[in-house]
Amino acid sequence: MKNQYVGDVGDFGKYSLLRIFAEKGIKVGVNWYLTEDDESNDGKFTDYLEKGKLRRFCPIVFDALADIAYKPDKSVKDIELSGIIPGAVFYSELIRPVGTPDEREKERKRWFQKSMSKMSDADLIFMDPDNGLLESNDATKRDAEKYVLPDEVEQYYNAGHDVVYYCHKGRRTLKQWEAYKSFMLDRIKDSKPIVLTYHKGSQRSYVFLVHEKNYLEYHKIAEEIVINWWYKVFSQEFTSLGDITRSTVGEPFTFKKDDGTVITIQEQYDGWIQIRSSADRNTIRSMRKDVFCSFLGV
Reported as a single tens digit per residue, the pLDDT across 247-296 is 788 899 999 999 999 999 988 887 888 898 988 877 778 878 888 888 78
Residue 62 has pLDDT above 70, yes or no: yes
For the ranges 178-182, 200-204, 235-239, the lowest mean pLDDT is seen at 200-204
Q: Is the pLDDT of residue 8 over 70?
A: yes
**Would you list the domain boundaries of the chain?**
3-241, 247-296
Considering only residues 261 and 40, tell me which one the structure prediction assigns the higher pLDDT: 261
Ranges 124-138, 170-184, 214-228, 258-272: which has the least confidence: 258-272
Task: Confirm or reject CATH 2.130.10 for domain 3-241, answering yes or no.
Answer: no
User: Rounded mean pLDDT of the chain?
Assistant: 91
- Packed helices 9-23 and 212-224: angle between N→C axes, nearest 10 degrees: 120
What are the residues whose beta carbons fall under 8 Å from the beta carbon of 227, sequence distance 6 or more? none
Report the alpha-carbon distance of residue 145 to residue 275 in Å, rounded.
49
Cα–Cα distance list, 255 to 61, 276, 297 (Å): 54, 11, 19
Residue 42 pLDDT class (50, 70, 90 cuts): low
Residue predicted with more confidence, 292 or 18: 18
| Average pLDDT score over residue span 129-141 | 93
41-50, 53-62, 171-180: least confident range: 41-50
Q: Which contacts qualify for 229-235: CB closer than 8 Å, 24 or more apart?
A: 229/20, 229/57, 230/16, 230/57, 232/199, 233/13, 233/54, 233/57, 233/198, 233/199, 233/200, 234/13, 234/17, 234/196, 234/197, 234/198, 234/199, 235/196, 235/197, 235/199
Could you tell me if 27 and 123 are in contact, meaning their C-beta atoms sit under 8 angstroms apart?
A: yes
Q: What is the pLDDT of residue 295?
A: 76
